[in-house]
DNA sequence: CGTTGAGTTGATGGAACTCAAATAGCGTGG
DNA sequence: CCACGCTATTTGAGTTCCATCAACTCAACG
């Protein structure tokens, strides 16, 4: 709809692609999704790359029984469907956790652009590899860790990602509800809740619904890495 | 040492790269590692892509306290260090689980080759994306699953990977010991052992040390996906 | 035959799940 | 503004599953 370098792109993780894309004439569409609305569904062929401008989108693996498992939360500045080029139909469904603005960059446009500029190819590969590393990190987050550690790690991760784009702050707004957090961490919402109150009782954090303040980041980090 | 298309390359996951590489003059070194020997260590800059020709190599995240956590087993035909281009120093250490033969393909050679042939770039991206997807799968394997399910899923995964290169067979040889399996699955070796005997008691598998026969794959699959 | 290391089995406690009930938030309409 | 209903979250009690620790089996080896 708009020019790809409109206000906010400088904080967007895809900005480099956008800049290169502008050179090659990349067309970028922006869409708005409401809470609960899917960006793409499991089984569909994903033809585009989704860059989250604002809001939060969860990627859900619906193949694993029940209501599926959340494999990733993508927040402002992050990119979705990076590994979709590997398998024709997507294995995940992407659902907005809250109202979100998303840039949609068609894959063939990206590929076009990357043909003319090898640097784009390189950036792209690094982004894909990074997405893989993040999957490994969330693996480390849930395996061998008990509930308190997982929750601590989750908070630290959210803070780090929030600080990557905002000014350094310890005030955190969690876009998703407890059930989603629990799902993502392989726990139950009750357990997550207990951990929150537990950490709050120790004065490491302060919780008020979706607002969390990190009071003792160091101590939290100590808990995460096996207190 | 040898020509890259020597006997066995047709079963190797990297064969396409090798073939293209031959065109561009890729130099491929082959090395042999004994059990316990590291291919590369955490913190080192990984300059090459490692393709396992035979044997088994485990990738260990040593940052997570104790003796580290195994994030991946690479067996014949699979490729290691695909996401190393995303972060300068490797976050994992790669250790041979048994005596292994490995092809070492320098990254700059790969990049050279990919400059001249866009198809190689594309293959490479798909391989990297696939590695990311596999990380997500192993995430699904340990999260929300109880011990029996994890072990069942592990066996199914090993069988599938073994069948991808051998003739279809239900006879399986596990290259790694129980501790490594337990580590990989986020369990204890005792628990893995119990699950094995449990599944064997149900006549779904037959276990004899490192040799496992899959008797009822369907039933195993049923257990994996939440019996 | 004793030693060593890997693997199995048994007994026990603790962490997290389950079910259930209480409480807090939040938007809606009176 | 307050009452209402709805949902999200917190808290409590009982149960299950797995980690822990320890004993035991088995095979390989000198």
| B residues 135-154 closer than 8 Å to A (CB) | 135-136, 138-140, 142-144
Q: Rounded to the nearest 5 degrees, what angle is found at the Cα of B21, between the Cα atoms of B17 and B25? A: 170
Q: Which residues in chain B are closer than 8 Å to A61, comparing Cβ atoms?
A: 136, 140
Question: Is A132–B82 a contact, with Cβ atoms under 8 angstroms apart?
Answer: yes
What is the C-alpha end-to-end distance of chain A, expressed in Å?
50
Cα separation, A121 vs A108, whole angstroms? 13
CB contact under 8 A, A129 and B86: yes
pLDDT at B1 (0 to 100): 40
Return the pLDDT at B221: 96
What distance in Å separates the CA atoms of residue B159 and residue A28, rounded to the nearest whole number? 43
Q: What is the DSSP letter of B89?
A: B
Task: Tell me which of A84 and B27 has the higher pLDDT.
Answer: A84
Per-residue pLDDT at A5 exceeds 50 = no
Instruction: Tell me the mean pLDDT in the region A193-206.
Output: 97
Residue A28 sits at φ, ψ, to 5 deg, of: -115, 125
DSSP β-bridge partners for residue A75: A56
Sign of CA dihedral A32, A36, A41, A42: positive
pLDDT score recorded for residue B17:
62
Q: How far is the CA of A98 from the C1' of D1 (A)?
A: 30
d(CA B61, CA B215): 34
Mean of all residue pLDDT scores within chain A? 87
Specify the nucleotide whose C1' lies closest to residue A177 (CA): D8
What's the pLDDT tens digit per position in A169-189?
888 999 999 999 999 999 999
Domains of chain B: 9-138 (2.60.120.10), 144-224 (1.10.10.10)
Q: What is the mean pLDDT of residues A181-201?
A: 97
pTM value? 0.91
pLDDT confidence of residue B2: 41
> What confidence score (pLDDT) does residue B11 get?
61
Which parts of chain B have pLDDT scores under 50? 1-7
Lowest mean pLDDT: which of A53-57, A100-104, A107-111, A192-196?
A107-111
What does the pLDDT look like over B80-110, one tens digit per residue? 999 888 778 999 999 999 999 999 988 888 8
């Amino acid at each position: 709809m708009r020019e790809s370098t409109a206000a906010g792109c400088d904080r967007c993780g895809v900005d480099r692609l956008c800049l290169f894309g502008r050179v090659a004439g990349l067309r970028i569409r922006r869409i708005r999704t409401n809470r609960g609305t899917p960006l793409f569904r499991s089984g569909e062929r994903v033809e585009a790359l989704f860059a989250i401008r604002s809001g939060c989108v969860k990627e859900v693996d619906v193949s694993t029984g029940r209501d599926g498992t959340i494999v990733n939360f993508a927040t402002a500045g992050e990119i979705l469907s990076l590994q979709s080029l590997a398998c024709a139909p997507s294995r995940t469904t992407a659902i907005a956790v809250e109202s979100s603005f998303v840039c949609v960059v068609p894959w063939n446009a990206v590929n076009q652009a990357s043909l003319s500029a090898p640097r784009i190819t390189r950036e792209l590969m690094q982004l894909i590899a990074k997405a893989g590393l993040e999957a490994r990190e969330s693996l480390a987050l849930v395996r061998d860790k008990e509930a308190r550690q997982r929750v601590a790690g989750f908070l630290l991760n959210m803070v780090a990602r929030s600080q990557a784009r905002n000014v350094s702050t310890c005030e955190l707004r969690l876009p998703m509800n407890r059930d989603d957090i629990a799902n993502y961490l392989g726990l139950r919402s009750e357990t997550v809740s207990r951990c929150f109150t537990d950490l709050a009782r120790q004065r490491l954090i302060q919780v008020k619904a979706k607002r969390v303040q990190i009071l003792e980041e160091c101590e939290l980090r100590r808990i995460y890495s096996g207190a």
